[in-house]
Amino acid sequence: MRDFAIQFFFRAIKNWRTYTGIIALIFAMTGSFTGHPILLPTWLWWAGAVLSVGAIGVQAEWKLYQERSSSILPDMRLVDLVERIVGSDDLFGENFSKCSGALLSLRENAHLGKIAVWGRKNVLSADLLLYPLTSIPAEYWDEFSIDSLRFVADQNGKTERARGQKKSERVQNAVTTTTHVVGIPDTIYSHLQFCAHQVEKIWPSPKQKLTWQWPFRLR
């Protein structure tokens, strides 16, 4: 019930139905007090106010149902996610700085565990099916990122080291007792995928807005 109340409140304050309902309520109350209907019969204004509240409640409940029933699956490409954050499909013109910021925001949310990321590990050939998608741990993003210049060339996405040093290990020769240090190659992920449901929660799609002119229009 608490979750529904919170959802109802936030859906209400940014929903055009709220303002429609407020207008209908004002006209209904004015018509009831003065005895003179405004434009429409007073009972129609009352009905409009009640329906507006009911519509917001249904929308809030539907949102909660979607969140409870949605599965976390890799069903969104990196380029689609970046376009969502930037708000445009023109990523490499005047929006390039926004594109870089979007990749940084993506890395931070992935590191905080707010969004799951999948990729194909250590790809060495063009046949991506040889490398199944695997979940990328949240701690991976502490030292790795998606470079914006690399993203220009490969919009499927590819990670690279952003900070820290490569790990190494001491290896002993099988014949002698000599040991030497060998660097461990970085794990690099390609063809990054995201969950559209999680993306919608962090970067909501643009909502319809009410244009305040008569007649009222959505845009």
65 and 21 both lie in a single domain: yes
191 and 96 both lie in a single domain: yes
Cross-strand bridge partners of residue 156: none
129 and 185 both lie in a single domain: yes
186 and 105 both lie in a single domain: yes
Tell me if 58 is assigned to some domain.
yes
C-alpha 212/C-alpha 68 separation (Å) is 35
For residue 177, what are its two tokens?
Answer: 């007792």
Is 16 a residue whose pLDDT tops 90? no
For 65, the domain range is 2-69
Domain count, the chain: 2
The region, left, alpha or beta by phi > 0 then psi within -120 to 50, assigned to residue 163 is beta
91 and 165 both lie in a single domain: yes
Alpha-carbon dihedral sign for residues 67, 72, 78, 80: negative
Question: Around Cβ 116, how many Cβ atoms within 10 Å?
Answer: 16
* 89-110 pLDDT tens trace: 888 888 899 999 999 999 999 9
45 and 64 both lie in a single domain: yes
80 and 65 both lie in a single domain: no
* 23-51 pLDDT tens trace: 767 776 777 777 777 777 776 777 777 77
- 126-130 mean pLDDT: 86
Amino acid in position 46: W
Under a CB-based contact definition with an 8 Å cutoff, are residues 143 and 161 in contact? yes
Tell me if 138 is assigned to some domain.
yes
